[in-house]
Amino acid sequence: MRKTVSLGLLVLANMLATMAILVAVAIEEGFRPLSFFHPTPFVLAGVLSAQLLILAMVTAFHDPRIPPSRWLSIAAILFGAFTVFALEAAIVWSLIGQRYGWIGFQRWLWNVRELLYSTALFATIGLAASVSLILALHILAWPIRATFGWRLVRKGDPDSAGNARQFGMTHLLAWVGFSAALMWLVTTATGIGELAVAFVVTLLLAAASILFVAPWSYLVIKEKFKYWPIVVTLAALAGLSYAAQEGITQFNFYQVTNSRSVASALLLPSLQFPEFFGYSGAITLASILNLLALRKMGFRFQAAASHATIGATREPVQSHSTTIAPQPSNVMPNVPASS
* pLDDT single digits (tens) 139-173: 888 877 877 778 888 876 655 444 455 566 666 67
pLDDT at 239 (0 to 100): 92
Domain assignment present for residue 315? The answer is no
Domain assignment present for residue 339? The answer is no
3-class DSSP assignment, residue 328: coil
Q: pTM (2 decimals)?
A: 0.76
Q: In which domain, by residue range, is 135 found?
A: 2-309
Distances, alpha carbon 50 to alpha carbons 54, 56, 89, 93, 338, in Å:
6, 10, 21, 26, 90
Query: Which amino acid is residue 339, in one-letter code?
Result: S
Q: Is 30 exposed, middle or buried (0-12, 13-18, 19+ CB in 10 A)?
A: middle
Whole-number percent of the chain with pLDDT over 90: 9
Domain assignment present for residue 338? The answer is no
Query: Which amino acid is residue 315, in one-letter code?
Result: E
3-class DSSP assignment, residue 143: helix
Q: How far apart are CA 293 and CA 315, in angstroms?
A: 28
pLDDT at 248 (0 to 100): 86
pLDDT at 236 (0 to 100): 92
- Cα first-last separation, the chain: 82
Domain assignment present for residue 155? The answer is yes
Domain assignment present for residue 283? The answer is yes
Q: How far apart are CA 279 and CA 297, in angstroms?
A: 27
Evaluate if residue 244 carries a pLDDT over 70. Answer: yes
Question: Who has greater pLDDT, 55 or 98?
Answer: 55
Determine the average pLDDT of the residues in 311-327: 41
Task: Quickly count: other Cβ atoms within 10 Å of residue 309's Cβ.
Answer: 17
* Structural domains of the chain, count: 1
Domain assignment present for residue 320? The answer is no
